[in-house]
Structure 1
Amino acid sequence: MPSLDEPPTNGHSWEPASFDVEFVLKRLTLDEKISLLAGEDFWHTVPVPRLGIPSIRLSDGPNGIRGTRFFGSVPSACLPCGTAIGATFDQELARDIGHLLADEARAKGAHVVLGPTINIQRAPLGGRGFESFSEDPLLSGIIAGNYCKGLQEKGITATLKHFVCNDMEHERMAVNSIVTDRALREIYLLPFMIAIREGRPGGIMTAYNKVNDLHASEHPELLQSILREEWGWDGLVMSDWFGTYSTSEAINAGLDLEMPGPSRWRGSALTHAVTANKVPLRKLDERVRAVLKVVKTAISSGIPQNAPETLLNREQDRRLLRKAGAESIVLLKNDDSNLPFKKTSKIAVIGPNSNIATYCGGGSASLNAYEAITPLDGITAQAAGEVIWTQGIYGHQKLPLIGNKLRTQDGRTGFSLKIYNDPPASESRRLLEERHETDSMVFFLDYKHPELETIWYADAKGTFIPEESGVYDFGLCLQGTGRLYIDGQLLVSNFENQRPGPSFLGAGTMEETGSQELVAGQEYEILVQWGCAKTSKLKAPGTVDFGHGGFRVSGCKRLDLKEGIEDAVKVARDVDQVVLFAGLSGEWESEGEDRETMVLPPHTDELIARVLEANPNTVVVIQSGTPVSMPWITQAKAVLHAWYGGNETGNAIADVIFGDVNPSGKLPLTFPRRLKDNPAHLNYRSEGGRCLYGEDVYVGYRYYDEAEIEPLFPFGHGLSYTTFSISNVRLTTRSSNSEISCTVDVTNTGARGGAVALQLYISPRAKPNPTIPKRPLQELKAFNKVRDLAVGESRTVSITFNSVRDTSYWDETAGMWCSRAGEYSARVALSSRDDKAVEAVFQVSETRWWGGLAP
């Protein structure tokens, strides 16, 4: 080993084999150690060039690699959202997704990926529910474990998040999640435990919230006792962005890395804490050692520090994205075999989600996709007959973005963006930078310029040429202050008396609007004058000001509601095939705010009901990341749930609509009939700074089973264009390791080839008594995706489970997992409510207590 007293000879870093963590750790000064425990900036760690320690890059996220910029980001591959991936019930596909993300991370120069998200969807309204895989901890953990395998097999560090109970957005940085030890273990920690066992991720991100009175980022029981000691995990624990709330407490509890940088809590404050013996040097070294291990992995990846960000966008990736999107789609209903459609027949495409690409949810999971295929584009590309489109109604929460409808002075699509330190009224105003942009959702979160002052301003200007005459509405939503002008006349002011809203991760305003009559073909100059976040007096409680703020410019022709619906009805009557696209979007489901209702956007249900009345053969396609209400469900013959499908959204939907792909998706969460039916209905917001997890272990289908409530669609439900039967169940025990192989014969009894996800549920047969806790009636303990089953084909399929681990509950008295002796049943089913499931009984001969990741 060469001396580390001098810089490395290559000027960047040591060769992977020569980077010895302990050797380097001993040579770090106290100041250098402390510098390593916080980010250098928003996405990078601090380098120590003297010792060959490079800066490593972290990047969002769960469904795609953004790179280092929210503002002006390099386009990326956008995967289907988390619930969509969960709906595939496909471990192999999750691993392939990890491989793709690893390649995308290399293209963006990222060593660490901030994903997957594996929080539990304990209620339908979570703003980030779309990011997570499932309401079920086993499905979440298995999918996440394979996702992590895929990333780490290609040298990229995966980061499980958010540890733990970050299951809603309301007051997310302050709320105290009050949860029993049993529910914490069986529901909320279990997906992390399984993912660690299956995938050995190198990173874990702490949650913003408190868990039983302590913030997760300074919780020694979670970070030290459970994660590191009981589970034996030795990776890097980082905070969520601005989710560090202390100096000594966080270090001593086990939080290795504060993000982002520069540090708020470490630096000189931590130096002082070490000097005062509030943080023992041993603890400090533990934190530094964890950072150095991830640095070593980053060096081994071969990705240089501060690498340029590039485009990948390979054909093989587009095929995988399309496959993932199609296989995630759930056929909820298909009476009279209304689907698939004939490509040669005339088809009407209708609805608010039809001519926009609703490809991802909002917040930190969103990104700039290489491309995004609309449902209309997907249908049109595959149809051999005539395609007729009509909007019907709008489904936006805020007015649609207008950036790509504008033109610059030299005729390019988009607008000019000019940056200044001086306000618009300043006579000495000097231009710092001029940029060309097309996205009018401008988030300056990570914007940099060497001359930028603390308070600064921006002007956005473009020409709008309306295609139709009429009244147009324009909107301005922002974090900061701003005004919108048309041809020099003030139309919208969002400056004084600002109203707090969900925009900009909860730190922005409501959208303020104005309207003006415009003439088709005439040019109109749109100008927005904006001041950074510090020019605003607005400060929403419980939120963080992410960066400099930003603005959102929107507008569209006003649509007459009655005329729009009547036009849709008329079009529907004149064709044999109608597909109506509706649902939510990244506006309705986004980081920073939970939904208030399961209801679709205003007037959507009216549109659907009227079109179904006009043409009963209409197929309804819903896009959302979490459940929505469907008051028209009895009218509809065919309903597809298409989630947020990533880059290939429109193509994937068309593949299923026309039968090129036989749907095989299964619901990874229960769809209730009413919001009031969900188990967390009375306990889903911060009340007095706390949220009681009153449903305990009865989350999702566990509750609906116990309460005997009929959901709209049960967990695990999903139809196919063919049918399947399961028979001849038998159990084979391997006594040496408690493994049981459950073998069934699955037969394609329909007229098309297809795939099916077999689900294995375990139920205790003993009745509860004063010494045995009450348990859910059934719990998912294994699943297996059976692919390419031809018409009439039977295949013998084995699903393996562990008779100790998979019969266990958390014994709060013993503080251990307990597998109680007795009889259990193993059901192999096509959903949690499958009345044709096959069942076999097995015996657990002795009661066992165990700890760690597995018995």
Structure 2
Amino acid sequence: MAETRSTRSATTADEAREAVVEAALGKLDLDAKARLLAGQDMWTLPALPEIGLRSLVMSDGPIGVRGVRWTADDPSVALPSPTALAATWDPELARRAGVLLAQEARRKGVHVLLAPTVNLHRSPLGGRHFEAYSEDPYLTGEIGSGYVTGVQSGGVGTTVKHFVANDAETDRFTVNNLVSERALRELYLAPFEAIVANAHPWGIMTAYNTVNGTTMTEHHYLVNDVLRGEWGFDGFNVSDWMAARSTTGALTGGLDVAMPGPVTVYGEALAAAVRAGEADESKVDEAVRRVLRLAARVGILEGADPVVPEPPAPVDGEALAREIARRAFVLVRNEAGALPLRPGTEVALLGAAARDARVLGGGSATVFPARTVSPLDGLTAALPDGTLTYALGADPNEELAVADKGFTLRAVCRDATGTVIGIGSAPNGQIQWMGSDLPDGVTHDVLHTVELTGTFTPRTTGTHTFGIKGLGAFKLTVDGTTHFDAAQTTDKDDPFEAFFGAPVPRAQAELTEGEPVEVSLTHVVALPADIPFKVIGFSLCHQEPQRDADELIAEAVEAARAADTAVVVVATTDRVESEGFDRTTTRLPGRQDDLVRAVAAANPHTVVVVNSGSPVELPWRDEVAAILLTWFPGQEGGAALADVLTGTHEPGGRLPTTWGPLQEAPVTQVTPANGELTYDEGVFIGYSAWEKTSTPPSYPFGHGLGYTDWTYESLEITAGTTAKIRVRNTGERAGREVVQVYLAPTTPDTDRPARRLAGFALVEAGPGEATEAVVELPRRAFETWDEKTDSWTYRRGSYEVEAGRSITDRRVTATIQA
């Protein structure tokens, strides 16, 4: 094939950047090189003025760009969760999301986004399930490729994470995951391989965990032999934060950058190891070369033209967040046309989650949007006056939450004498200051206490509970009374426990609606001498008066009975789905299941909106008229919900992961035994495991309903591996269909799944119109990994090519010989 002009141009530009990189590398001494490979603080690498290198800035994603300040007074656009993005089955939409995030990164001075997360949904109990895309490696790779392409088209780097098998949170720093080579290749490595091939990411993040006896930051085979050798990855490899454990082990294992700093296994320790003959300086040069290549690509190395000299056209963040949300919503049940709502329908909106929406997951994925549209906000704006009523019904929050609504706070910093040395803003009750991210005039050397102080104006009368999240000495005062003055400790060894741990109730106060009271939480800052980076993190937490649950449900039932349609919003909380721990159940917290059953009994036109990032059990699913899964829908979730419920837009999502009861789920083990977690299931996870057990789930992989109907008319295979599927919109309104193609060997084979997703395509058509979906079947769909030869084997034979609406709703088939 002739070389294209664009290919030649890209090659020439790459060669020019490489020349600048080599020249810069040649000017550095050992100490400078070692310093460049270690974080200088929480988020950045050091500048090296002698070669014209500016400081490289990294920031967490994946649904927004937090920047270097983890605080609500530096807002970010908050897109729907990765599970939601995958539910769109639209790599182009993922690319557009990436372009927006590049725009956000540039606005915040960020060069590298620590995203996307492409670990698999091995078990529904995985605590960080919401932050990854799917149980299927092919779908994950396609969505991840779109995302990476979009971000990097904006001139911002990505770090595809967490490489590899970081599929659960329990003992994540120490667990040894025992995974067969075949399962690694066919499942867990597959999304990374696809993204490297299709999107050429500029970075990879290696995980905390160990795989088959070797910690990932030292895994020479998987990093150097597979990632760099077989796949040709030429980007940089950064550790997950605090994952690097050994100077020589990390260097030999292919780790380029150890984060965060200033105390890491690299820097001074690396230079000393080279001088002592324990580490090879040529390997240091290789790592520095990759970091300088990244710097050249993002435009912070003098003399090197960035890959993207001009950013793409501006993107409307709120509009895109709203579009992704409604395209991600999955309508899994819709009896007798319960949705969309008919004009003039009187609606009873029920559930605490309708008022206080859960729009994103907990942990490092957290960002702080400038605004959040709740379901109550969205429906209030969309429905005519007098047609919407609201009742609390049931509250999923069984624990305290970070102080927010009704609180007006500031952070007062004092030295050891009690003198005020600075005052910082505090948009809510959470303080997260990392490195030098301190209020003006404040330094770690002088800072002794931080006091969160201000007023709280209750929105309900009754017994309010206050508490503390964090470790160390605290003093909590409410309305002039000191309720706690002591230290909080923990027996957990997670260094991020202060951020992700549970809040502890410490005070109760009888307060009156609308009457403000003074509140104060003072924390004595005591940073351990051996801490690798300076971080101050704690929270003032609060819980509103807890009314009798039966009374609340009874009120909701009365509201439902008086309305034409009841819309119940149920949700998880950040104590159910978050970084740092796995789930122990997939049941909804609190009395939410009871609420749904009671409302459904009172009103046959009950619609349930499920606000969770991961599968939850729906024991009442056959008792309600409609079920809409909205994931964590991002900042515009309530507006998108109104669009879908009222029918101005159809729900566009399809399940990226199987939903079913936990007791029937094929893979549930996420807790190590004696430090080891064995992936006994091999290549059978997700829908392939459900099919192997012959147990029907609640809702299968790929399932999702729209507001129109589709007929699959024909399937034709041309050129051996091109599937052409003709579909017709047989409904009364325009719609979009996700045409899914599965490949199944016609001869049963116990060593591989009955069928695998081989491709998909999105099509649109008006009422009565027909259209054609074209899906290329990749060679890899016909291959399995042979552990005897350590290579891919093309499995010849007869296959059924099956096209349809889900893994279980396959409409048309064709037989081919491979």
Which range, TM-score by smaller chain? over 0.9
Conserved? CA contact 1:169–1:592, under 8 Å: yes
Alignment of 1:2-41 (within 5 A): 20-41=20-41
Q: Match for 2:145: what amino acid?
A: G
Determine the structure 1 residue equivalent to 2:612: 624
Question: Contact conserved, 1:670 with 1:700, CA < 8 A, in 2?
Answer: yes
Q: Which residue of 1 aligns with 2:454?
A: 462
When the two structures are superposed, what TM-score results if normalisation uses the length of structure 1?
Answer: 0.89
Instruction: Report the CA distance between 1:470 and its aligned residue.
Output: 2.1
SS in 2 for 1:660: coil
CA contact (8 A) 1:111 1:301 kept: no
Question: Where does residue 588 of structure 2 map in the other structure?
Answer: 600
Deviation at 1:602, TM superposition (A): 1.5
CA contact (8 A) 2:473 2:524 kept: yes
Question: Which amino acid in structure 2 is aligned with residue 713 of structure 1?
Answer: Y
Which residues in structure 2 correspond to 1:10-409 (within 5 Å)? 20-71=20-71, 74-299=74-299, 316-385=316-385, 386-406=387-407
Distance of aligned partners of 1:517 and 1:300 in 2 relative to their CA distance in 1, 3 Å threshold = closer
Number of equivalenced pairs? 793
For the pair 1:837 / 2:805, whether they are aligned, the reply is no
1:762 to 728, 743, 750: 743
CA–CA separation in structure 2 for the residues paired with 1:59 and 1:117: 14
Q: Deviations over 1:667-688 (max 9, x none)?
A: 1001112x1222222x311221
1:807 Cα deviation (Å)? Answer: 0.4
Q: Which whole-Å CA distance do the structure 1 matches of 2:167 and 2:707 have between them?
A: 35
State the 1:805 CA deviation. Answer: 2.1
Which residue of the other structure, out of 562, 569, 574, is the alignment partner of 2:562? 574
Question: 1:505/1:814 Cα in 2 relative to 1: closer, same or farther (>3 Å)?
Answer: farther
Amino acid paired to 1:216: M
Once the two structures are overlaid, the 10-residue window that deviates more, 40-49 or 506-515, is 506-515
Secondary structure of 1:443's partner?
strand
The equivalent position to 1:782 in structure 2, one of 741, 744, 759, is 759
Residue of structure 2 aligned with 1:817, choices 774, 792, 810: 792
Q: Conserved in 2, the CA contact under 8 Å of 1:758 and 1:785?
A: yes
3-state SS, counterpart of residue 717 of structure 2? strand
Equivalent in the alignment of 2:426: 437
Q: Does residue 734 of structure 2 align to residue 753 of structure 1?
A: yes
Q: What's 1:678 paired with?
A: 665
> How far off is 1:357 after superposition?
2.8
List alignment gaps of at least 5 residues for structure 1: 1-15, 306-311, 407-413, 423-427, 735-739, 845-855
CA contact (8 A) 2:51 2:302 kept: no
User: Counterpart amino acid of 1:438?
Assistant: P
Q: Distance in 2 between matches of 1:200 and 1:510?
A: 41
Q: Deviations over 1:776-819 (max 9, x none)?
A: 000011111113x11111012211113x3220011111100111
Deviation at 1:438, TM superposition (A): 2.1
1: CA distance, partners of 2:532 / 2:656: 32
C-alpha change, 1:631 and 1:546, in structure 2 (3 Å) is farther
Q: Is the 8 A contact 1:361 1:589 kept in 2?
A: yes
Partners of 2:488 and 2:229 lie apart in 1 by 53
3-state SS in 1 of match to 2:628: strand
Which deviates more, 481-490 or 502-511? 502-511
Answer whether contact 1:19 1:296 (CA < 8 A) is retained. Answer: no
Distance 2:594 2:301 in 1: 54
C-alpha displacement of 1:278: 2.4
- Is 1:713–2:702 an aligned residue pair? no
8 Å contact from structure 1 (residues 373, 650) kept in 2: yes
Q: Which residue of 1 aligns with 2:10?
A: none
What percentage of residue pairs aligned between the two structures are identical?
35
Partner Cα separation in structure 1 for residue 227 and residue 498 of structure 2: 29
CA distance in 1, matches of 2:702, 2:302: 41
Segments of structure 2 that go 5 or more residues without pairing to the other structure are 1-15, 306-311
Q: Determine the structure 1 residue equivalent to 2:3.
A: none
CA distance in 2, matches of 1:753, 1:494: 63
Does 2:540 match 1:511? Answer: no
SS in 2 for 1:606: helix
1:507 to partner: Cα distance: 6.2
Shift of 1:474: 2.1
Deviation per CA, 1:722-757: give whole Å up to 9, x if none: 1111121110116xxxxx210011111112211111
The answer on whether the counterparts of 1:504 and 1:549 sit within 8 Å (CA) in structure 2 is no
Indicate how the Cα distance of structure 1 residues 561 and 533 shifts in structure 2: closer, same or farther if over 3 A, else same: farther
Residues 134 and 493 of structure 1: CA distance in aligned 2, closer, same or farther (over 3 Å): farther
Structure 1: distance between partners of 2:701 and 2:320: 26
Write the distance in 2 (CA, Å) between the matches of 1:786 and 1:713. Answer: 23
**CA–CA separation in structure 2 for the residues paired with 1:157 and 1:467:** 44
1-structure distance, mates of 2:230, 2:313: 42
| Amino acid of the structure 2 residue aligned with 1:743 | K
Change (3 A) 1:643 1:335: same
- Structure 1 CA distance, aligned partners of 2:737 and 2:155? 32
- CA–CA distance in 2 between the matches of 1:313 and 1:379? 32
Structure 1 CA distance, aligned partners of 2:160 and 2:459?
47
Task: Please give the alpha-carbon distance, in whole angstroms, between the structure 1 residues aligned to 2:232 and 2:402.
Answer: 48
Amino acid at match of 1:691: L
1:315–1:114 distance in 2 versus 1, CA, 3 Å: closer
Is the contact made by 1:500 and 1:510 (CA closer than 8 Å) also made in structure 2? no
**Equivalent position amino acid for 1:471 in 2:** T
In structure 2, the CA distance between the partners of 1:468 and 1:170, relative to structure 1 (3 Å rule), is: closer
Q: TM-score, length-normalised on structure 2? A: 0.93
RMSD, matched Cα: 2.5
Rounded to whole Å, the distance in 2 between the matches of 1:180 and 1:233 is 23
Task: Look up the equivalent residue of 1:840 and give its one-letter code.
Answer: A
Shift of 1:589: 0.9
Q: What CA distance in whole angstroms lies between the structure 2 residues aligned with 1:240 and 1:837?
A: 44
Question: Secondary structure in 2 aligned to 1:403?
Answer: coil
The residue identity in structure 2 corresponding to 1:808 is E
Deviation per CA, 1:386-445: give whole Å up to 9, x if none: 211111121114224333312xxxxxxx112101232xxxxx311111123221122233
Closer, same or farther in 2 for the Cα pair 1:698/1:629, shift >3 Å?
same
Task: Look up the match of 2:630.
Answer: 642
Q: Does 1:481 align with 2:473?
A: yes
**1:591-625, CA deviations, whole angstroms, 9 ceiling, x for partnerless residues?**
11111110101111111111111111010000111
With over 3 angstroms needed to count, the CA separation of the structure-2 counterparts of 1:827 and 1:454, relative to structure 1, is: farther
Q: 1:86 to 1:404 in 2, by over 3 A?
A: same
- Which whole-Å CA distance do the structure 2 matches of 1:304 and 1:343 have between them? 59
C-alpha spacing 1:313/1:227, structure 2 compared with 1 (3 Å): closer
For 2:475 and 2:222, the matched residues in 1 are separated by 47
Deviation at 1:24?
A: 1.2
Per the alignment, do residues 544 and 179 of structure 1 end up closer, same or farther by CA in structure 2, a change over 3 Å counting?
farther
